Amino acid sequence: MSVTRINRDERLRSYPTLVPDLVVEVESPFDLAYQIEAKIQAYQQVGVRLIWQVRTYSRRVVVYRLAKGLTPEPIDIDGELSGEDVLPGVKLALTEIFDFPADPNPEPER
């Protein structure tokens, strides 16, 4: 969350009432598709601008932007994440995130 979005009075409190600009949601093998979709919707309803949904088993990240709603942009292992206007200049290659051998029996995509 950008410090410019917090007014002076909120900086004095221990818990600001603002939502983050970026959420990184890391899936567990026990997450169900409808649960994840509900989380993405909830994040967007409160104003989270950028969501990275990390799918460790398929070694991909799905990007959601507040401006595009629930339209996913999947990024495969050879792609790169961008902080866009939320974290300007931040670039992260997925090969850096998934720097471990692929699972020989990956979970099917949901």
DSSP one-letter string for 21-43: SEEEEE--TT--HHHHHHHHHHH
SS3 of residue 14 by DSSP: coil
How confident is the prediction for the chain on average, in pLDDT?
84
Kind of pairing, strands 60-65 and 50-55? antiparallel
Using 50, 70 and 90 to split pLDDT, how confident is the model at 57? Answer: confident
Evaluate whether 109 touches 57 at the Cβ level (below 8 Å): no
Supply the pTM of this predicted model.
0.78
Give the rounded distance of the alpha carbon of 71 from its chain centre: 13
Residue 99's pLDDT is what? 83
Asked if residue 54 has pLDDT above 70, the reply is yes
Asked if residue 1 has pLDDT above 60, the reply is no
**Averaged pLDDT, 6-22:** 68
